[in-house]
Structure 1
């Protein structure tokens, strides 16, 4: 299972939101490139980059910062936020972005997502961000009537991954929604990446119980920035972890 550190960009800064609320943003670093290099140096094999301004505006906003990060790092970068047409996606690929993440268009224009998956096989990830089981769109500012599981079933099998985020847990450090992840992973053969709520190595290891269903990655944000999770330790724990080797009452101190 891949542990993927996240950088959320807002007004050119590295921030984290609480439950997707733009009014509850916390600045962690004024220099996102510095943070990206930090995660790469600690062993990250991929970086998750979100343009929060882009998600809100419907078009990529922090393009220069994304370009600098992609050109500087040696690990692959996946980028989401405001990608609602083919031109925007192609622009990122021309910068060297390895994987583009689309979300809103999966609900509003599913045919475009199918087309993108066909034209760029294994380079398009679909972000399914759910609030009470319903898919949220437009930077989480609106909630649709589409069930997350229904959307997952309709995604082209040429998609690289589904990134599932439980909005109510994002930025809260209260742990992942294992039941919702399980239900979503059961209805699709596309690899699933978990996101939202990770607060400890215990939370990370709990995801190994879903690996057999295709949950093969986890995005970690606030827990890294607050020091609750050490990236090197997390990568080692997940990389070496076998669910049968994990004691039923494991705790973080046992994994240190």
Structure 2
């Protein structure tokens, strides 16, 4: 499916270039109308990122997200600095459908494995952000500033024993660039991990990118900047996905 994405910083929709807070672009959108249109077009789920919360949990944009939850019936998955069980409980109580766990999947992997068991694998998405070097898919954490020795394959293998279901995989070199997605990457991981529902993220700039990604077998495509900049409409994207 197509998953429209919105990143929020200081209450405003924004896109970062390759995760860099210093290289950002704000978008002046009527979010209420935007979400109304997405619902009308048949969008099944939305992806939100709390960039303030990602930097500091105390700065989570709770008020903003309460408003969003109050005026849309579309299920929402949310990420950004989710590090504790209290964070998860807070977001589920607000009404979010799924939480997206990033850095903690590496820094606190035993606890994250327990969360998969406690909340159920359908409620947690692992966000595994990678840099590919010498054919190794190295995971980066903490807003992509710290590279780890863990690979994408290591993480999926580890969490699969607790029935891991959803993985949002981003090729960092593609994020926010509109340079086209890493088709080779998604072909490879879909083939290797047939039990995972992959969400592809990064680089989508036109409808042909959607066709190419659908052909890899990924379950979903997260699209942010292209929709915000009206390179194509959500209606076109959904039709493209359904018709391919």
Q: Do the structures match in fold with TM over 0.5?
A: yes
Counting only pairs closer than 5 Å after superposition, residues 154-169 of structure 1 correspond to structure 2 as 154-156=158-160, 157-169=162-174
Q: Structure 1 residue 148: deviation in Å? A: 1.7
Structure 1 position 184 matched with structure 2 position 189: yes
Say which is worse superposed, 20-29 or 61-70, in terms of deviation.
61-70
Match of 1:204 in 2: 210
Q: Structure 1 residue 51: deviation in Å? A: 0.5
- Over 3 Å counting, the alpha-carbon distance change for 1:149 and 1:229 in structure 2 is farther
Contact 1:148 1:184 in 2 (8 A): no
CA distance in 1, matches of 2:59, 2:166: 21
Structure 2 residues without counterparts, runs of 5 or longer: none
Match of 2:147 in 1: 143
Deviations 1:215-240 (A, max 9, x none): 11000011111111211011011112
Q: Structure 1 residue 71: deviation in Å? A: 2.2
CA distance in 2, matches of 1:79, 1:194: 16
Contact 1:161 1:190 in 2 (8 A): yes
- Over 3 Å counting, the alpha-carbon distance change for 1:10 and 1:33 in structure 2 is farther
Contact 2:202 2:223 in 1 (8 A): yes
Counting only pairs closer than 5 Å after superposition, residues 43-122 of structure 1 correspond to structure 2 as 43-58=42-57, 61-121=60-120, 122=122
CA distance in 2, matches of 1:92, 1:149: 28
Match of 1:28 in 2: 27
Match of 2:156 in 1: 152
Q: Count residues with an aligned counterpart.
A: 237
From 226, 233, 243, the equivalent of 1:223 is 226
CA distance in 1, matches of 2:164, 2:36: 28
> What TM-score, normalized by structure 2, do the two folds share?
0.91
Say which is worse superposed, 111-120 or 35-44, in terms of deviation.
35-44
From 123, 127, 134, the equivalent of 2:138 is 134
Q: Structure 1 residue 167: deviation in Å? A: 1.1
Structure 1 residues without counterparts, runs of 5 or longer: 242-256
**SS of alignment partner, residue 193 of structure 1:** strand
**SS of alignment partner, residue 24 of structure 1:** strand
Contact 2:156 2:164 in 1 (8 A): no
- Over 3 Å counting, the alpha-carbon distance change for 1:190 and 1:32 in structure 2 is same
CA distance in 1, matches of 2:224, 2:57: 23
Q: Structure 1 residue 54: deviation in Å? A: 1.3
> What TM-score, normalized by structure 1, do the two folds share?
0.87
Contact 2:131 2:138 in 1 (8 A): yes
Say which is worse superposed, 138-147 or 13-22, in terms of deviation.
138-147
Match of 1:40 in 2: 39
Match of 1:123 in 2: 123
Contact 2:186 2:200 in 1 (8 A): yes
- Over 3 Å counting, the alpha-carbon distance change for 1:160 and 1:70 in structure 2 is farther
